[in-house]
Amino acid sequence: MDFNYWATGSIALISVATFSLGFRSSRQANTTQDFLVARRTVRSRRNAAAVSGEYLSAASFLGVAGLILKDGTDALWYPIGFTAGYLALMLFVAAPLRRSGAYTLPDFCEFRLRSAGLRRLAAIFVIFIGMLYMVPQLQGAGLTLQHIIPGVPTQLGAALVAVLVTVNVVSGGMRAITLVQAFQYWVKLFAIAAPAFVLCAVFIGDGGARGLGATGLSEPLPPRFAHGATISVETPVVLSVEAPVRLIAEGTVDGMPAAGETYWSPGTHQVAAGTRLTFAAGDPVPVVRGAVGDNADWLSPASDTDDLLTTYSLIFALFLGTMGLPHVLVRFYTNPDGQAARRTTLHVMLLLGLFYLFPTVMGALSRIYLPELLVTGQTDRAMLQLPMAVVDNVAGEILGAVIAAGAFAAFLSTSSGLLVSVAGVLSTDVFKSRVRDFRLATALAGVLPLVAALLLRPADLSLSVGMSFALAASTFCPVLVLGIWWRKITWVGAAAGMLTGGTLVLTALALTTVSGYTGGWAPWFVQQPGLVTVPLAFLAVIVMSKATQRHIPPETKHIRMRMHAPDRLGLIRDRASGLGGGGAARHALGRHRR
């Protein structure tokens, strides 16, 4: 594919719009007071758009459609889990957390359990989760840039976005992020909804799957190539073949040099990097190991026990992990009070539900139009390549440009949000929290994930995001939920829970990474550890707290009342200093109670 002017233009446009919007609104809020108090006046509807804008990451925008292309029905749990996480957040955390006045997760730990040591431990986990979450964003950016400007290595795109976001945050361009993030939600919604409608219309106009000569989605056959295709394999893959296929292979197959026509019987074949495979129109598509080969299987949910347990584990991690994501919590502080925090969450669920209808459509269309991605396993490219595969003309290029702009909005908003929250924690809890430290922290928080993104093999975007959710669910979820609702929690128990959950998930992450390089032997509870690690973490908190009851902070009753008493009673005290104490809160309360 040639250099894509439309897409380059759209990405430039979205970047410029983001920066100028951020710059313009940051000029209006200059003083500390202005900065924080202005943010507390954010109405729940705009705040909800901002939360959604920050939350819809590369994994949601590109990854979900790719996973649906590969795994079918089981991947539908990702959007459900991403949305349901906000229900858990609303039911158990949102309002009390806002009333606690804590600004970051470590801050909450110190507020509730009065332990500086616990605060530091929480800070380490926040930094780790933030960086883990940022890696797939950068890899997604690399992928997108490579798609637009062919020949560019993926590392360049990742580096570019990391530098762009870091510079932006360091120079203070993200100070007025609320408006920017809200704007980016609507960009993303448009960038996925408009192409989805157009492509669906084209698909129906073409006479559906039968008109295209593709395998229908409910037929018990593998997908077929609609046109002849030559595929270059860039990373080594193991392909499983469902129906015998005749193809031309140049390179290395099953450890033997191959040049010319070969015949693959059903079974698995190892294809080395640099191999070119040429298929004719109508050939059945061999799929990368782990993907679903057969369209009828693709359409129906998990049918073996391991898949079922993986699904449950995933649901569990997503449902409970959202509340522990550092960039989500920071946004909740911008609500005026607990009631507004609850309403914001409700709006977020509406906005997310609206958005997540579309990746499903795009994933299903990719199964028909883009079966060749199943050969290389690079299913994250589905969203980017789909428009050109459906309409191969200027219209396709424009739709592709819209999608690329949406994808860039996703990288920019999510990684900016992560960077701000991680750098915030780094600079307050590790450095001495001066402006210079904040900048140093930002640079550090931008560089480390970049190094990781360059070194690690790009796995599926949503899968690595799934791991960060599992980590958040196994470390912060128990501390938050029990901290808010259970009187007897102690800092020892909280630390024990965080360490137990954190260690287990990190071990699983390491094992999964190793297994990815050495043949994918990891069982389900290693690849998707939430179902095991979260209950263990809860258990650790409860047992260790019971054993150390003398460490219950003496102010517990007072703290609990402040978290739970209705906003009208005016007990909120914001912990961010420089705002005055109860007076300011009471004042804010009077103005924004709606």
Partner 1 sequence: MSKHAAGDGQGATPGPSARPRRKRVILADSGAPVTLLRTVDELEEQTSWAEEVVSEFIRTKIRSACLLAGLAVGVLGVLPALFFLVPALSQVTVAGMALPWLLLGILPFPLLFGIGYWYNVLAEEHEKAFVGMVEK
Q: Provide the 3-class DSSP secondary structure of residue 40.
A: helix
- Rank residues 339 and 468 by Cβ distance to partner 1 and give the closer one: 339
| Minimum separation from the CB atom of position 303 to partner 1 (A) | 6
Task: Tell me whether strands 287-288 and 267-271 are parallel, antiparallel or unpaired.
Answer: unpaired
Are 100 and 562 in contact by the 8 Å Cβ rule? The answer is: yes
- Rank residues 253 and 292 by Cβ distance to partner 1 and give the closer one: 292
- Rank residues 10 and 442 by Cβ distance to partner 1 and give the closer one: 442
> DSSP for 137-174?
HHHHHHHHHHHHSTT--HHHHHHHHHHHHHHHHHTTTT
| Minimum separation from the CB atom of position 425 to partner 1 (A) | 7
- Rank residues 352 and 508 by Cβ distance to partner 1 and give the closer one: 352
- Rank residues 244 and 566 by Cβ distance to partner 1 and give the closer one: 566
Residue 472: C-alpha distances to residues 122, 316, 346, 365, 502 (Å): 11, 12, 21, 33, 8
Q: Which residues pair with 443 in a beta bridge?
A: none
Tell me the residue type at 249.
A
- Rank residues 110 and 397 by Cβ distance to partner 1 and give the closer one: 110
Dist. CA 78–CA 460, nearest whole Å: 13
| Minimum separation from the CB atom of position 46 to partner 1 (A) | 18
| Minimum separation from the CB atom of position 224 to partner 1 (A) | 20
- Rank residues 36 and 537 by Cβ distance to partner 1 and give the closer one: 36
| Minimum separation from the CB atom of position 156 to partner 1 (A) | 29
- Joined together, the tokens standing for residue 249 give 């292979």
- Rank residues 319 and 524 by Cβ distance to partner 1 and give the closer one: 319
- Rank residues 132 and 445 by Cβ distance to partner 1 and give the closer one: 445
Dist. CA 376–CA 199, nearest whole Å: 24
- Rank residues 274 and 583 by Cβ distance to partner 1 and give the closer one: 583
Dist. CA 98–CA 102, nearest whole Å: 7
| Minimum separation from the CB atom of position 577 to partner 1 (A) | 4
Helix, strand and coil percent figures for the chain, each rounded to 5? 70, 5, 25
Q: Compute the radius of gyration of the chain from its Cα atoms.
A: 25
Dist. CA 594–CA 578, nearest whole Å: 26
| Minimum separation from the CB atom of position 448 to partner 1 (A) | 17
- Rank residues 221 and 229 by Cβ distance to partner 1 and give the closer one: 221
| Minimum separation from the CB atom of position 548 to partner 1 (A) | 22
Q: Is the dihedral of CA 438, 439, 445, 448 positive or negative?
A: negative
Closest CA to 465 of 9, 62, 177, 31: 62
Report the first-to-last Cα separation within the chain, whole angstroms.
54
**Burial of 346: CB neighbours in 10 Å, binned 0-12, 13-18, 19+:** middle
| Minimum separation from the CB atom of position 53 to partner 1 (A) | 17
- Joined together, the tokens standing for residue 593 give 């109670």
| Minimum separation from the CB atom of position 159 to partner 1 (A) | 25
| Minimum separation from the CB atom of position 575 to partner 1 (A) | 4
**Burial of 261: CB neighbours in 10 Å, binned 0-12, 13-18, 19+:** exposed
Dist. CA 430–CA 424, nearest whole Å: 10
Dist. CA 163–CA 184, nearest whole Å: 20
| Minimum separation from the CB atom of position 310 to partner 1 (A) | 10
- Rank residues 339 and 490 by Cβ distance to partner 1 and give the closer one: 339
Q: Which residues pair with 247 in a beta bridge?
A: 262
- Rank residues 190 and 485 by Cβ distance to partner 1 and give the closer one: 485
Tell me the residue type at 299.
L
Residue 78 per-residue DSSP state? H
Tell me the residue type at 340.
A
- Rank residues 130 and 400 by Cβ distance to partner 1 and give the closer one: 130
Q: Which residues of 468-498 are buried (b: 16+ CB within 10 A; e: fewer)?
A: bbbbbbbbbbbbbbbbbeeeebbbbbbbbbb
Say how many residues make up the chain: 594
| Minimum separation from the CB atom of position 496 to partner 1 (A) | 23
- Rank residues 427 and 533 by Cβ distance to partner 1 and give the closer one: 427
| Minimum separation from the CB atom of position 383 to partner 1 (A) | 17
| Minimum separation from the CB atom of position 359 to partner 1 (A) | 10
Q: Which residues of 36-60 are buried (b: 16+ CB within 10 A; e: fewer)?
A: bbbbbebebebbbbbbbbbbbbbbb
Segment holding 258, helix H or strand E: strand 256-264
